[in-house]
Amino acid sequence: MLRVDRRRLRQPVRHHPAGGSRPRRLAIRTPARGAGTLVTTAHDVDVRHGRAWVDPDETVRIGYTVATPPEPTKTVVLLHGAPQTRYEWRKVMMPLAAAGYRVIMPDYRGAGASDKPRDGYDKWTMAGDIHSLVHETLGVAEPVSLVGHDLGSTLALSFALRYRDDVTSATFMEAPLPGTAYYEWRVAQKSAWQFAFHANPDIAVYLTHGRERWYVNRFFDELTYQPDAISNDDLDVYARAFEAPGAMRAMCEVYRELDRDADDNRAALRRDGKLTIPVLASGGASGPLSKNFRAMCEEVADSVTDQLVPDCGHWVAEEQPTYFTEMFCEFDGAARACRPSAAVGETTAYESATETQ
């Protein structure tokens, strides 16, 4: 794995007020492998940023960005990881919109522009935040595709288990999923020190206060394969987000609730069975978790496809945005093609597509 030299000079990135890159006014062509090309110009995509009250008592606001093409035919919800915000998806937002997706990118509870309450960081509650944002605030009527990265994958799993009828497909990347045997093994390893460290917020906040930039930088230094994928300007965006009052503690609370999430997920799996939607198990091929993705996802889902991203570390959408976009569009297109139930013994479009991978 390459070490990232943050001293190298890089091209500056211009940021819009919500933290993402300013859209370029040109045609973005993003063909999915084996599919036709959909072309949408950047200036045709409506990009909006906002904050919405989402919990029943209207005490928590969620920050979000939505990119909507002129005639969206489907919706994808992108759930970021840590130590990140929705800015993680800046490179894939417009290509996904060009492929016909309404792209919803929230800052989950405690991150970025979202409120940072003292509690509510179990993923069942956080899934309720996202569901309210998507279906009530933004008025999305149809089931959505979920993509989770890092801690966002733990949130995506809880969303899919809680709102089964509202999910078309789920993509889990770069995280041990609570409730699986692999999760229990992984968090016990010395190399996974961050789980225990963040589960003690008082200690973690005290030790990182005033050192947020250094702390954020450490994760990217160790887990990045493509050294030019994430610039110093990008790191500044993430560092500023975690310098905000309450932000580091909130991230710790997201970690601290993972064992509770494991109990909640196991209970849901016992009660309702495994997920029946198509699931994509993915991540960077150079990462230490890569060989375990498929088996882990098969603990929670009946229909799992695995595809690793070559020449990529932990930060998939930032290190290999084109590959990620094409991979997701191909997988999700096949998943949507087979959404109507097939008769027993019939081969669905999804099964036919995955057999060739």
Q: SS3 helix, strand, coil % of the chain, rounded to 5?
A: 45, 20, 40
CB-based contact 144:76 (threshold 8 Å): yes
CB-based contact 280:172 (threshold 8 Å): yes
Q: What span, in angstroms and rounded, lies between the C-alpha atoms of 188 and 199?
A: 13
Alpha-carbon dihedral of residues 141, 63, 120, 295, nearest 10 degrees? Answer: 70
Cβ density class 103-130: b for 16+ within 10 Å, e for less: bbbbbbbbbbbbbbeeebbbbbbbbbbb
CA distances (Å), origin 261, targets 81, 121, 340? 16, 10, 31
Q: Which of 150, 234, 261, 306 is catalytic?
A: 150
**Token digits for 134?**
């998507």
Whether 314 is catalytic: yes
Q: Which of 198, 238, 314, 350 is catalytic?
A: 314
Q: Which of 64, 108, 225, 255 is catalytic?
A: 255
Residue identified by tokens 């995509």 is 45
Whether 150 is catalytic: yes
SS3 93: helix
Active site residues: 150, 255, 314
